[in-house]
Every structure is written in structure tokens, then in C-alpha cells.
Amino acid sequence: MLRGLGAIGEDCSKDYIQRAIAWLEVRQNSDGGWGETLTSYEDEDLAGRGESLPSQTAWALLALFAAGRVDGPAVEKGVRFLIDRQGAEGTWEDPLWNGTGFPRVFYLKYHLYAKYFPLWALGVYRSASA
């Protein structure tokens, strides 16, 4: 959503965007990544909480970048999470489901999400940091 708002020229200093950024930063895991458990559909207190996944970490970073956050502790830890988990062949793996068919009914695993979203996030980070 933040990427879309940035694309249409929304002012990222607006309060609702800053609240979204704060929400993301608070939900960052101690390992530097982001994730969400499937049980968040049953317990909204678990929204944005769960084992860190490369694809979900990349989504969080892309949102932060879109809102103008290209440095700082959350970004640095998120980028480090992706770099540290990149496989020898240059890609990543999501060990858990990363998509929803129908909540509480069935879930999906999009195998390429862990391949291209982290690469995209690191590319945006590199371009913004250059």
C-alpha cells in the first residue's frame, strides 16, 4: 500500500503513513526480519507477528523504502536479515506458507516470492543508498 501511495505522489509525512511505518517497525523481529503467522486470521493481536520470512521481510522493506525510509536501524537489520539468509546460489527460501487461498480454509506457497521479492528489495535499497 505504501508503494502505491508513493507512486501517486501522496505526502509520506502524513500522520497515517507515519503510523503505518511505526506499525512495521514495531513488528520487526529480533532477527531483523518480518513475518506473520497464519493464526493472525483468528487472533488479530498476532497481525504482523510470526517467524521471519524472506518474502515478508522484503515486503516490509519495500514499504519502508516507498515511504522514504532507506536507512536507520529497522532498514539495516532487515537488509542484514536478507543478506545473511541468501543461499549459495543467490536466492532465498520461505520455509512456510506465504499466501492465502481462503483464510482458515487453505493456504498457498508461492515458491518464487522468496526469489524475486528479496532481490527487488535489495535492488531498491542499493539504488537508494548509492
Question: CATH no. for residue 44?
Answer: 1.50.10.20
Residue 116: pLDDT over 80? yes
User: What number is the average pLDDT over the span 123-128?
Assistant: 95
What are phi and psi for residue 13, nearest 5 degrees?
-85, -5
- pTM summary value: 0.90
The mean pLDDT of 113-118, rounded to a whole number, is 94
Above 80 in pLDDT, residue 101? no
What confidence score (pLDDT) does residue 40 get?
A: 76
Backbone dihedral angles phi then psi of residue 101, each to the nearest 5 degrees: -80, -70
Instruction: Please state whether beta strands 99-102 and 106-108 pair in parallel, antiparallel, or not at all (unpaired).
Output: antiparallel
Q: How confident is the model at residue 95 (pLDDT cuts 50, 70, 90)?
A: confident
* Residue 39 belongs to domain spanning: 2-129
The number of distinct structural domains making up the chain is: 1
pLDDT at 9: 85
